[in-house]
Structure 1
Amino acid sequence: MACTQMNCSKNGTTSAADLTDDLIIEILSLLPVKSVCRFKCVSRLWYLLISQHRKRLPQTISGFFYPKHRYNNEDGLIGFPTFDGISGDQKQLFPDSSLPFLTGYRQILPKDCCNGLIFCLCWKDSPIDEADYVVCNPATEEWVVLPDAGHKSDALAYRLGFDGAMSPHFHVFQILEGDEDYGYISGVNIYSSETGVWSYKENGWGDNEIQIVDMRGVFFNGMMHLLTCEFKILAVDTEGKTWRTISLLETMCVGNICLGPLAFIGQSQGRLYFINMRDNDSSKLSVWILEDYNGNEWIFKYSISTSQLFGKLFGEKDHMLQRDYADLLLQRDYALVAIHPECNLIFFVWRCKDVLLSYDMDRGKVCVICSLKYHLYDTFPPYLPYVPSFLRIGKPRVEA
């Protein structure tokens, strides 16, 4: 476009002042959350512009969804989602966090969450013995009922994959069991919201005797990553064409007696993290970063003393309790649930107190975020980190 058709500076370039508000917001939507927050300080005009269009801009973690159970005279114990925000201005993000827009269901159990979308198992009002798998966006109240996967093998797990920066379409990975006695993976069934159908792929990892750890997967670089009991991370893309195995550098403890995972994978700042309680040393958590994703190069980043971690919560007067029971508490009543996507902050649940806590790995600071709403589980329910997304997830394909 010639300079006679738009305002240009003397050297032929367009200044920011010449851009429309919509174009500025479109550019800002491609940037990380931290950058957008910094740009609010440029001027009062930019502050108002970003504040007014915040729904179109990148979001950060707002809190956690998890199942809350209540007693119903007709159905007994039933479950619905509940939400806890991690800051004061986010506590009312969902006045009713039970996802009431999902109509026709008597029970809704959140199972997985990825970049603003939630994967739920929803039991119908009628017939009461039938259920749907549903993917929904709580921010836009859109939802998609998944069709029957059409596979006879039992499912070991379901994992949700979505990255609005890469595609408006989501995928659900159904991990299939090959041997019911051992829980080995036989293959992966992949649902695409773009096509509205499932696609089955046989196990492409070259190992027929692998078992996954019962925890959330990580959707990263367009691939679903799964932690296994064999000290490896498995990855598969959304089309089942690329299969990767990423070896870990140390043995790990994958669970505690309350079924909270002590080994954890997540992503932050564009890199994959592995956090682990060593199998032979329960007094420390080690934190590894996959510095070179393509070259499988792990870098050791932090060593976290569990005594220090829980000692900060006990207080100065409880040094004896700190020394004697910190490791035991960690193994019995603790579960890592998330890592912050923009900083070295991890979140974990301390079940004996029913509190959600954060730990700043750079500063060594522990913070109690909130008391969790009462639940009736004897084990750890899934705490799903939620990052609001206002992208439309589309509708299921209607067959002719």
Structure 2
Amino acid sequence: MDRSDKSSNPAADLTDDLVVEILSRLPVKSICRFKCVSWHWRGLITHRDHRKKLPQTLSGFFRGITPRLGDMLTVSDFVSISGAEEQPVSDPSLSFLIGYKTIVPKDCCNGLLFCHCRKVTPSPRYEFDYVVCNPATEKWLILPSSDRKSQVYVSRLGFDPAVSSHFHLFSMLEDVEGYITGVDIYSSKVGAWSNSENGWGDDVALYDRSVFLNGMLHFISLDSTIVAVDREGKSWRTIPLLDTMGAENIWNLNAAFIDQSQGRLHYLNVRERDASTLSVWILENYQSGEWNFKYNISTSQLLGHKGLINGGQYTLIAIHPECSLIFYIMRGGDVLMSYDMDHGEVRPICNLRVKLYGSCPYLPYVPLFTESLANHD
């Protein structure tokens, strides 16, 4: 390279190690943009040896599938959205979890995956473990039994690697009528379970969709509020929704949906009186509980046609953690789609190996290339 080229491109004098060190200090959105600087920079950013240093973004979705009709074997599957780049998961079936007949992903949080794993045993009794693993490094941990699995409504992960290398598993407990009675929380730092009684009040029932944000696990209640509990089970919060945000038809999969994007809680809903519109709200001020209306999306934009019945011809999957993209699947379809809320653009992402059936969730996955899976010392 001659002197004029170097003066017009000062970064050309930087070594690869120094470029990677600089990029490691930038937010993930900037990293994605810098892939377009040159093929050389793209190679640096996507190189496996550098991924441990660089912030990562959404790369795809985990879910459990039954490969053949009537086959009792259930395995993990991964749907990549990263195109032709090197895949972040070398073993999407999670076969490195040795000794299990079935492996069913249940939740994913910031690179860690929580699974129900049925043991390989000659006994007819159904025995399974709670397992937390890191698919990028194939490290995994079997959790001790909480002895109250029969009371568990749903179990969800809480993990923020920017705060701690330790994770928490929340098992929400319910009574025979389906109301929440409390929570068992496993701490990988302590290596044990703790229990707290319900602090939200009486007769609280939940949608099983959850979001871990700001150190708290959030659910939508069937009474049309957001409820949250912290990692120690000491702080129980209720965030009211506006009148126009309440779910009118709780059986509609899109009637109440939450996710987090760009560090803020998002709430999406379809009103029974107007199933042709998907509304999006953002919790602008987390402390005060201030909701701001953001978008009204015509479902004809998502599907390309009208004549919808209860807004049920598509299923919301997730919102991109770094930008205003909604991911969804048409009911009975085999194509993962995205919708850019800022620009009104629909784009097919990829064909699905297995069609969406029922409510089996697609779990958003952001790779975590940390070698250790922290447990108690």
Q: TM-score, normalised by structure 1?
A: 0.82
| Residue identity in the other structure for 1:382 | P
Q: CA deviation at 1:19?
A: 10
Partner of 2:53: 56
- Corresponding residue of 2:8: none
Shift of 1:66: 1.1
Q: Structure 1 198/117 Cα, relative in aligned 2: closer, same or farther at 3 Å?
A: same
SS of 2:64's partner is strand
1:12 alignment partner in structure 2 = none
Q: CA deviation at 1:23?
A: 8.0
Deviation at 1:139, TM superposition (A): 0.2
CA contact (8 A) 1:62 1:90 kept: no
Amino acid at match of 2:270: M
One-letter amino acid matched to 1:180 = V
Q: How many residues align?
A: 362
How many angstroms apart in 2 are the aligned matches of 1:166 and 1:266?
Answer: 20
Taking the TM superposition and a 5 Å limit, the aligned residue runs for 1:184-203 are 184-203=179-198
Change (3 A) 1:106 1:43: closer
Q: Which residue in 1 is equivalent to 2:367?
A: 388
Q: Provide the identity percentage.
A: 54
CA contact (8 A) 1:262 1:336 kept: no
* AA of the residue aligned to 2:155: Y
Distance of 2:86 and 2:360 partners within structure 1 = 20
Hey, what's the Cα distance between the residues in 2 that align with 1:336 and 1:290? 19
| 2:90 aligned with 1:100 | no
1:70 aligned counterpart, secondary structure: coil
- Tell me if structure 2 keeps the 8 A contact 1:164–1:391: no
Over the aligned positions, Cα root-mean-square deviation in angstroms equals: 2.8
**1:357 has 2:337 as partner:** yes
Residues 188-238 of structure 1 deviation map (CA, whole Å, 9 limit, x = unaligned): 111111111111011112x111100122x1110111111111111111111
Please give the TM-score of this superposition, normalised by the length of structure 2. 0.87
CA contact (8 A) 2:52 2:370 kept: no
Matches within 5 A, 1:211-290: 211-215=205-209, 217-249=210-242, 250-253=245-248, 255-256=250-251, 260-290=253-283
Task: Give matches, 1:4-23, under 5 Å.
Answer: none
Structure-1 separation of matches of 2:86 and 2:36: 25
**Bigger Rg, which one:** 1
Structure 2: which 5+ residue stretches go unaligned?
1-10
State the match for 1:125 in structure 2.
120
Once the two structures are TM-superposed, the CA of residue 374 in structure 1 deviates from its matched residue by 2.2
Give the SS at the match of 1:309.
helix
4+ residue segments displaced more than 3 Å: 16-31, 37-52, 90-96, 253-257, 395-398
Distance 1:383 1:43, change over 3 A: closer
8 A Cα contact 1:287 1:300, kept in partner: yes
Residue 54 of structure 1, CA deviation: 2.5
Q: Given the alignment of the two structures, is residue 308 of structure 1 paired with residue 301 of structure 2, yes or no?
A: yes
What is residue 316 of structure 1 aligned with on the other side? none
* Aligned residue number for residue 150 of structure 1: 147
* CA–CA distance in structure 1, aligned partners of residues 275 and 212 of structure 2: 28
Partner residue in 2 for 1:208: 202
Question: In the alignment, is the contact (CA less than 8 A) between 2:51 and 2:369 conserved in 1?
Answer: no
Shift of 1:243: 1.6
Residue 344 (structure 1) aligns with: 324
